[in-house]
Amino acid sequence: MKYPRRLSSGANNTVIALSETEVAKLFSGDTRSDIGSEAEKMRFANAINELIVRFSRLDYNDTLEAEMLVMERIYPIDYRAHEVERRELWFDVFADELAQLHANGFVHRDLKRPSGLDGLAFDNILLTDRGLRLIDVGISALKHQVGDKIFARYVAHEQDELALFRDYFLNR
Ligand SMILES: Nc1ncnc2c1ncn2[C@@H]1O[C@H](COP(=O)(O)OP(=O)(O)O)[C@@H](O)[C@H]1O
Ligand SMILES: [Mg+2]
């Protein structure tokens, strides 16, 4: 199916632009991910800080016959458009905000993995002119759902990926 105003068709979902300020992640009948749980995780993280893209609403598009997760639209810029000194500051804020999410029971779990075969590593981390933001909570986990032990393992793994991201972000 060809979607109008498509931004991306990732491994699991297509993302389309709705306006200058909103995008929608489409969930059609054959997507395996669950729109309700993705929305819930996004709302959970939004209540902690502003690192994860802001959730707007769930909707249904009759023409496209798709469920839509509507969220804030982000306009990413290339890392190398900014001096490494500035990127270091942005990285520190990012690491603090990620730690704050962890401390409050949210782990993203998808910092590094590319979206689909042609995806790039770290493509869920978007740089804006106001700093780094995170999208795609598809496989994120909440501590109250997975329990302390599994959550701690996920967090340890995320910290390893954060160190890899630091190297990528500052030395590329
Ligand atoms: N809020 C957003 N603003 C701008 N672009 C977005 C937004 N959300 C997703 N995208 C674009 O769509 C792509 C796929 O979205 P994502 O949520 O990562 O889905 P997937 O599960 O396919 O990886 C992203 O890599 C990005 O290019
Ligand atoms: Mg993704």
- Residues 46-86: pLDDT tens digits? 999 999 999 999 999 999 999 999 999 999 999 999 999 99
Structure-block tokens of residue 128: 């804006």
- Pick the closest to residue 111 from 68, 154, 72, 144 (CA basis): 154
50 and 98 both lie in a single domain: no
Task: Give the range of the structural domain holding residue 83, as residue numbers without chain letter.
Answer: 79-171
Q: Ligand 1: which atom is nearest the Cα of residue 33?
A: 21
Rounded CA separation 48/54 (Å)? 11
Residue 159 has pLDDT above 80, yes or no: yes
User: Would you place residue 115 in the very low, low, confident or very high pLDDT band (cuts 50, 70, 90)?
Assistant: low
Residues with Cβ within 8 Å of 66's Cβ and at least 6 positions away in sequence, in order, are 26, 27, 28, 60
68 and 11 both lie in a single domain: yes
116 and 156 both lie in a single domain: yes
> Which of 13, 123, 136 should be mutated for ligand 1, with most atoms under 8 A from CB?
136
Structure-block tokens of residue 6: 């498509």
Ligand 1 atom 13 nearest Cα:
8
CATH number at residue 104: 1.10.510
